Amino acid sequence: MIVLGLTGSIGMGKSTTAKMFAEAGVPVHDSDETVHRLYAGKAAPLVEAAFPGTTAGGVVDRAKLGARVLGDADALKRLEAIIHPLVRADADAFLAKHRSAGESIAVLDIPLLFETGGRGRVDKVVVVTAPAEAQRQRVLARPGMTEEKLASILAKQVPDAEKRQLADFVVDTGQGMDAARAQVHAIVTGLIGER
């Protein structure tokens, strides 16, 4: 089974591209969705123990947790030390399930693939990109987003140009969603042909 790592900077259209892979019949593991699930389950008591007062009713309160860790590199590292192994275990179980089911391709949707050293976990990398102005417009249209928040997020991410250089495949959502869907289809068809 070929494991594709799907990544891209904020506002590039990665979530939409992940849906396109799923529509093409490729199983997709979404790391962000997994974190949300973990925050409502097995991660909640671990987060509460490390950051008292950040859960309510056995669920992590993302706003309270964000207020505790944003801008505090040590706190963020402690949180990542709790969450990243749980997400990885969930992804490993997902891959094992689909490998045993005989799937030829599976996608790990990992927003911070390069930033977290995840390149070694996948066979090929798909980077989703778009022109910088399209990215900026998409992100600033999100509720509560500001120029400052966007700058802070981008400062923590590997630059788009560098990600594209490290990619095996690039999907450009700046050309429209039909063009992006065609690019996804070409990737899937090409990889199935290699098997």
C-alpha angle 32-35-40 in degrees, rounded to nearest 5: 135
Per the DSSP assignment, residues forming a β-bridge with 108 are 5, 29
CA distance linking residue 62 with residue 94, whole number of Å? 25
Q: Per-residue pLDDT for 39 more than 70? A: yes
Phi, psi (5° rounding) for residue 131? -60, 150
Task: State the pLDDT confidence band at 32, using cuts at 50, 70 and 90.
Answer: confident
Per the DSSP assignment, residues forming a β-bridge with 135 are none
Chain center to CA of 102 = 24
List pLDDT tens digits, range 106-165. Answer: 999 998 899 888 889 999 999 999 998 999 899 889 888 888 888 888 888 889 999 999
Cβ contacts of 157 within 8 Å, gap of 6 or more = 9, 10, 112, 115
CA-nearest of 132, 130, 111, 110 to 121 is 110
Count Cβ atoms within 10 A of the Cβ of residue 46 and give its class: 0-12 exposed, 13-18 middle, 19 or more buried: middle
CA distance linking residue 182 with residue 6, whole number of Å? 16
Task: State the pLDDT confidence band at 195, using cuts at 50, 70 and 90.
Answer: low
Per the DSSP assignment, residues forming a β-bridge with 105 are 2
Q: Are strands 55-56 and 59-60 parallel, antiparallel or unpaired?
A: antiparallel
Please tell me whether the overall predicted TM-score, pTM, comes out greater than 0.85 for this model. Answer: yes
Alpha-carbon dihedral angle through residues 113, 115, 118, 122, given to the nearest 10 degrees: 40
Q: What is the DSSP string of 100-125?
A: HTT-SEEEEE-TTTTTTTGGGG-SEE
Q: Per-residue pLDDT for 71 more than 80? A: no
Q: Six-digit token pair at 45?
A: 């008591």
CATH number of 2-194: 3.40.50.300
Per the DSSP assignment, residues forming a β-bridge with 88 are none
Output the pLDDT for position 194.
66
